[in-house]
Structure formats: structure tokens, C-alpha cells
Amino acid sequence: MNLKVTLALGLLVVAAGVGVTSFRNTVTPYISFSEARRATGLVQVNGALADKSYVLNQQEQFLQFKLRDTAGEILPVTYRGVIPGNFDQAKMVVAIGRYRGDHFEAEQLLIKCPSKYQAEAEQGGSTS
């Protein structure tokens, strides 16, 4: 085989290896609450708000609440950052972060609020 072709194939294999490794390191898996308590890296958990008695301090950008998963397990969550404007309407919350001590420290929150989409469906409209 030609030296240039061999070198090109070698570089291609190395680049593919680096790409796969980088992708695996950036993927944040969804895991259960019990798995989140044992995990060492960044993970995603999701659940419904366990109740509406959450602590919200806009000035300090602090939010503390509890999530309930489908098995009924409760996970206390603390978040410091920009509070999502529709948090009070949240039905489901995805928290990305790490378990520390006795609670889950979220670095990012994703709010799922189906009422917005239900209203669009009832009107029969579409945004596209």
C-alpha cells in the first residue's frame, strides 16, 4: 500500500478515536435517583415536582425543591443560577448536576410545562 494512503488511514482512525472519546465524555445520562446518589460525575435526573412548597430567592438566584420519580422516590434538589421564569408552572423538571451530601446540586434545570403545548393543540394551531 502507498505510504500516503497508510498515513491517511492512520490519521483517520486516530481522529475517529478522539471523536468517540470526546462524545462519551460529554454525554450526560439519565439515571434513577438512587443511581444519582452513587454517581461521581455529571448526571441527569428527571421527575415531577413533589410539592409546591419550594424555596425560591430571586435576588440570590437560589432555588430548593423536591422531585418525585415514577417509583415515588423523593430527591431534594438545590440550584443556584438564573431561575427559569416558568418554574411555578412546571410539571416535569430535568436537573443536571451531582449528588452532594444529602441533596442533588443542579447546575442546569430544564422545565417541562405541558400546559403551553396543550393550549396550542386545543387551538389546532401550529407554530410552523
DSSP 41: S
Same-domain check for residues 98 and 64? yes
* Residue 55 within a domain: yes
% of residues, the chain, pLDDT over 90: 34
**Span 111-128, average pLDDT:** 58
Residues 112, 93, single domain; the answer is: yes
Same domain, 15 and 74: no
Stretch 53-59: mean pLDDT: 87
- What's the pTM? 0.68
23-41 pLDDT per residue, tens: 665 566 778 899 999 988 8
pLDDT of 44: 93
Cell numbers at 104, concatenated:
442533588
Examine residue 128 and state whether it is found in any structural domain, yes or no. Answer: no
